[in-house]
Chains A and B, each alone.
Chain A
Amino acid sequence: MTVRARARRLIWTRRAVQTGALLLFLVLVVANRPTSGEGPTGPVSLFFDLDPLALAATWLATRTLAGLALLGLVTLAVTAVLGRWFCGWFCPLGTLHNAVGSLRGGWRRLTPRSEGSSRWQRAKYYLLIALLLMAIGGVHWIGVFDPFSLLYRSLALTVLPACDVALSEVANAVYLGDPQLGPLHLRDLTEPIDRWWQARVAGSELRVFTGAGVILLVFAAALGANLVRNRFWCRYVCPLGALLGFAAVRPLLRLRSRTDACNSCGRCTLRCPAAAQPEKPDQWLATECFGCWNCVAACGNEGLDFRWTLPWRATSRGSVDLGKRRSLAALAAGAVAVALMRITPAAHGKTFHPLLIRPPGARAEREFLQRCIQCGLCLQTCPTGGLQPTWHEAGLEGVWTPMLVPAIGYCEFECHACGQVCPTQAIRPLALAEKKQVRIGLAVIDTSRCLPYAHGRECIVCEEHCPIPDKAITFERRESVQRDASVRTLKFPRVDPDRCTGCGICETKCPFQDVAAIRVTSAGEDRHPANQPLLGGRAGAGTD
């Protein structure tokens, strides 16, 4: 078989692998949607377990490997041997970039100059350096840029909910309108599809997320940039790609070229998604190359091929040449970013954001932020949809981290799924019985809104829903003088602070939909000894 034929076959193999990995990613996102209280089964965090960037940054931030998957080391080892095949063959975000980039050639004239390598490709290394320094300083911003976090967050919080909404709107419109094609009722077609989607894909009532627009914009920008440069994100931004680039300095599988065969046609450059300089025989950039084989297939003279090569026999130099000054500048930028994010009262325990209610099992805030990679697995698996991404509540440092918004949904008593799926144990994997004991906040009654207190009406919906087996919300019967001077005996709710775990169902179910008359704030959360309004913590909370 000729070199080109083999390359073409490998390219089709690569496309199949890429499609498979992307589908697997999607399947794992869907598999993580809520099923029962035990949480999803299956390796829902597989991609994050394979992610050496999440591993490195979390290790730097926490100085411990406890609770971290070490599969990322395998990825690094494979990269050291094969080069950045991970980017070319596996990364599902890279695959989406490929797909969008393939739209590009048609409307824009490509030249070797526009497609060739650029100094700007070093930007991703500087970003990586800054991010790792931030991690050392305890600011874990990896998740904002990590490709898996970016993709997971975007799919789970924006793309899938959009599909849910679109499908159910159509199905519902067909159901209500009942259009017919001859004897055929269209709803007989749409209803089973809708039911299947609800049961197998949605898995719960509709869940939508605040701030989804921003997340979608970032995703759209990352994908849209492929129209400017093929795999723009991977070339210039991706810190995981940069980390793998460091690992791929001396791969054993290397691009070899026959200089006598090259007529400088530039086709290899045009086809190279990574700008790895396949056109320059001795300056092929191992640290940039995705191992996609496009250049091998593109060369009409069969002048290029990947060959197993011992490192000392390599003809092209492999290094990431960043320059001392620029590298120092990147380090300095990381240090400044840490400082900027830390000069807030909240970062020093001076204030506690009342709405920053973390999921049960979440570590103390500083330690939590050193682990959370903003991936969105916990948000995706929360059955009530109450777990939402933060925007400003946890500071810039904690953007897109999970918080419970009881106005939207509560923490289900019989569920501990969020801690089971967290890939970095920012939320600890508590047993269900243990989770039921954790206080994430405390409910307080607003007597200026609460119906019996403020309006002389019966209610206690909060007491009805309180899931604590012996009720953290009780009531006392008291007389209430009505407008006509008659006296009614009403039930006035009270929160027992020793039993309340802050699950928030009282707030979710309160008849006041705008601002509930009973609200949970972070006060009393177990995570923080300083955020305790009550003497000596509490006794016997949430007994099972």
Chain B
Amino acid sequence: MLRPTRREFLKTAAVLGGGLALGDALALPRAALAQDPMALSVARWDPAALATADLAAAAGRLTEAAIAGLGGMGRFVSKGDVVWVKPNIGWNRAPALAADTNPDVVGALVRLCYEAGAKTVKVGDNPCHPARHCYATSGIAAAAEAQGAQVVFLDDRRFRDLKLGGERLDSWPLYPEIVEADLVINVPIAKHHGLTDVSLGMKNLMGVAGGQRSAWHQQMADCLCDVTAFLRPRLVVLDAVRVLTAHGPTGGDPADVTLVGTVAAGTDLVAIDALGATLLGHQPAAIASLGAAAARGLGTLDFRSLPQVERTLS
């Protein structure tokens, strides 16, 4: 068992007794990940053409371009894989209000996964508002189902305490079906957040957690680092097609939404979040969770130092 999959880890962990072995076992994929080229791919819509663009089509094409810039979905998806696409579906808000991930970004990712040979693509989140309302209003359920994805509503009772072995969270209930997936694609939307200033990829991972997760607010940076270190998503796609600049994470006023027309993809969550923070007008190092993540070696804040592919579409 040189490179066991996450599912094999969980099985091993179960055999060894209630997930206690997970913390050690996870050292393996970390090492494996370090060998990945930490590339960053940014697709932008020509700013001059943005105001008149068909945003739904543009979001899909930007997503394709961003993934193509990383070398294509085939780099991440093997034939027969089960993929979990994890957008932000936290709020019962329409796409134009930019509180949830753009549905067309999600739809495009589902399609790319199937084209790369995925067996099943699941889409789901643990929302703050009633799940069925969020999934429908955000447009994500319809967009994902149109591409053949299995839209999953998380069941409160199926969260399982997993050993994170983090600095703040020793264990926490996470959703096994997500953790077991062969690939988790973390698809946050870039937006403002009252407590943490920004809500990006690390914050989006809260949707894998159950339990009394609002308590994370008391030490958000450490908690986000712990769950990031545990999950280590191999592919992050940042939706900055529309960006919520104030009164996040819920928003609701179209005046707080700015059209940016950008989708970024990468393998380093911290770098992607640093890029997102910059887009939102912040110094990455000034964001507590990002500073802590960089200090713990979870990724780099200096996203410009990574091999970068940039494409401009129109």
Give the B-binding residues of A (Cβ under 8 A): 34-37, 168, 172, 175-176, 198-199, 203-205, 383-384, 412-415, 451, 457-461, 463-471, 475, 491, 509-511, 513, 544
The docked-state distance in angstroms from the alpha carbon of A205 to that of B132 is 9
With an 8 A cutoff between CB atoms, is B214 at the interface? yes
With an 8 A cutoff between CB atoms, is B128 at the interface? yes
Q: Which residues of B contact A463 (CB under 8 A)?
A: 194-195
Please determine whether A412 and B218 come into contact, CB atoms closer than 8 angstroms. Answer: no
Known A458-B220, A459-B217: A464·B252 in contact at CB below 8 Å: no
Q: Which residues of A contact B219 (CB under 8 A)?
A: 458
Q: Which residues of B contact A37 (CB under 8 A)?
A: 92, 133, 137
Hey, what's the 0/1 contact readout for B207-244 against A, CB within 8 Å counting as 1?
A: 00000101101111000000000000000000000000
Residue from B133, B156, B247 within 8 A of A415 (CB atoms): B133
Interface residues of B in 225-273 (CB under 8 A from A): 247, 249-253, 256
The docked-state distance in angstroms from the alpha carbon of A203 to that of B132 is 8
The docked-state distance in angstroms from the alpha carbon of A340 to that of B219 is 55
Q: How far is the CB of A410 from chain B (nearest CB, A)?
A: 9
Interface residues of B in 131-165 (CB under 8 A from A): 131-133, 136-137, 153, 155-158
Please determine whether A509 and B128 come into contact, CB atoms closer than 8 angstroms. Answer: yes
The docked-state distance in angstroms from the alpha carbon of A450 to that of B168 is 22
The docked-state distance in angstroms from the alpha carbon of A510 to that of B218 is 12
Q: Which residues of A contact B132 (CB under 8 A)?
A: 34-36, 199, 203-204, 383
Residue from B93, B214, B218 within 8 A of A509 (CB atoms): B214
Residue from A412, A465, A466 within 8 A of B133 (CB atoms): A412
With an 8 A cutoff between CB atoms, is B129 at the interface? yes
The docked-state distance in angstroms from the alpha carbon of A466 to that of B247 is 9
Known A414-B93, A459-B217, A460-B217: A467·B133 in contact at CB below 8 Å: no
Beyond known contacts A458-B219, A469-B256, A509-B128: 14 more, CB 8 A cutoff: A168-B155, A172-B157, A172-B158, A203-B132, A412-B130, A413-B252, A414-B92, A414-B137, A415-B92, A415-B133, A469-B247, A471-B247, A475-B194, A513-B212
23 A-B pairs with C-beta separation under 8 A: A34-B130, A34-B132, A168-B155, A176-B158, A383-B132, A412-B133, A413-B92, A414-B137, A459-B218, A460-B194, A460-B195, A461-B214, A469-B247, A469-B251, A469-B256, A471-B247, A475-B194, A509-B128, A509-B214, A511-B212, A511-B214, A513-B212, A544-B252
With an 8 A cutoff between CB atoms, is B11 at the interface? no
Residue from B156, B212, B249 within 8 A of A464 (CB atoms): B249
The docked-state distance in angstroms from the alpha carbon of A216 to that of B130 is 27
Q: Which residues of B contact A175 (CB under 8 A)?
A: 158
Q: Which residues of A contact B119 (CB under 8 A)?
A: none
The docked-state distance in angstroms from the alpha carbon of A36 to that of B94 is 12
Give the A-binding residues of B (Cβ under 8 A): 92-93, 128-133, 136-137, 153, 155-158, 193-195, 212, 214-215, 217-220, 247, 249-253, 256
Known A469-B252, A491-B195: A414·B133 in contact at CB below 8 Å: yes
Closest chain A residue, CB of each to CB of B150? A195
The docked-state distance in angstroms from the alpha carbon of A168 to that of B156 is 11
Q: Which residues of B contact A460 (CB under 8 A)?
A: 194-195, 217
Q: How far is the CB of B189 from chain A (nearest CB, A)?
A: 15
Q: How far is the CB of A431 from chain B (nearest CB, A)?
A: 17
Q: How far is the CB of A114 from chain B (nearest CB, A)?
A: 50
Q: How far is the CB of A541 from chain B (nearest CB, A)?
A: 14
Closest chain B residue, CB of each to CB of A493? B194
The docked-state distance in angstroms from the alpha carbon of A509 to that of B256 is 24
The docked-state distance in angstroms from the alpha carbon of A172 to that of B176 is 14
The docked-state distance in angstroms from the alpha carbon of A511 to that of B131 is 20
Please determine whether B217 and A467 come into contact, CB atoms closer than 8 angstroms. Answer: no
Residue from B128, B131, B155, B253 within 8 A of A172 (CB atoms): B155
Please determine whether B253 and A469 come into contact, CB atoms closer than 8 angstroms. Answer: yes
The docked-state distance in angstroms from the alpha carbon of A413 to that of B256 is 18
Please determine whether A511 and B217 come into contact, CB atoms closer than 8 angstroms. Answer: yes
The docked-state distance in angstroms from the alpha carbon of A472 to that of B166 is 35
Closest chain A residue, CB of each to CB of B160? A176
The docked-state distance in angstroms from the alpha carbon of A496 to that of B156 is 33
Please determine whether A464 and B130 come into contact, CB atoms closer than 8 angstroms. Answer: no
The docked-state distance in angstroms from the alpha carbon of A413 to that of B215 is 24
Q: Which residues of B contact A511 (CB under 8 A)?
A: 212, 214-215, 217-218
The docked-state distance in angstroms from the alpha carbon of A458 to that of B196 is 11
Q: How far is the CB of B150 from chain A (nearest CB, A)?
A: 10
The docked-state distance in angstroms from the alpha carbon of A489 to that of B215 is 18
The docked-state distance in angstroms from the alpha carbon of A470 to that of B157 is 35
Please determine whether A412 and B131 come into contact, CB atoms closer than 8 angstroms. Answer: no
Closest chain A residue, CB of each to CB of B199? A464
Please determine whether B253 and A470 come into contact, CB atoms closer than 8 angstroms. Answer: yes
Q: Which residues of A contact B131 (CB under 8 A)?
A: 205
Closest chain B residue, CB of each to CB of A455? B218
Q: Which residues of B contact A461 (CB under 8 A)?
A: 214, 217
Q: How far is the CB of A463 from chain B (nearest CB, A)?
A: 5
Closest chain B residue, CB of each to CB of A384? B130
Please determine whether B133 and A36 come into contact, CB atoms closer than 8 angstroms. Answer: yes
Please determine whether A451 and B130 come into contact, CB atoms closer than 8 angstroms. Answer: no
Q: Which residues of A contact B128 (CB under 8 A)?
A: 465, 509
Residue from B92, B249, B250, B251 within 8 A of A412 (CB atoms): B92
Q: Which residues of B contact A475 (CB under 8 A)?
A: 194
Q: Which residues of A contact B194 (CB under 8 A)?
A: 460, 463-464, 471, 475, 491
Q: Which residues of B contact A491 (CB under 8 A)?
A: 194-195
Residue from B156, B193, B218 within 8 A of A457 (CB atoms): B218
The docked-state distance in angstroms from the alpha carbon of A468 to that of B157 is 31
Q: How far is the CB of B145 from chain A (nearest CB, A)?
A: 12
The docked-state distance in angstroms from the alpha carbon of A391 to that of B129 is 27
Known A35-B132, A475-B194: A464·B253 in contact at CB below 8 Å: no
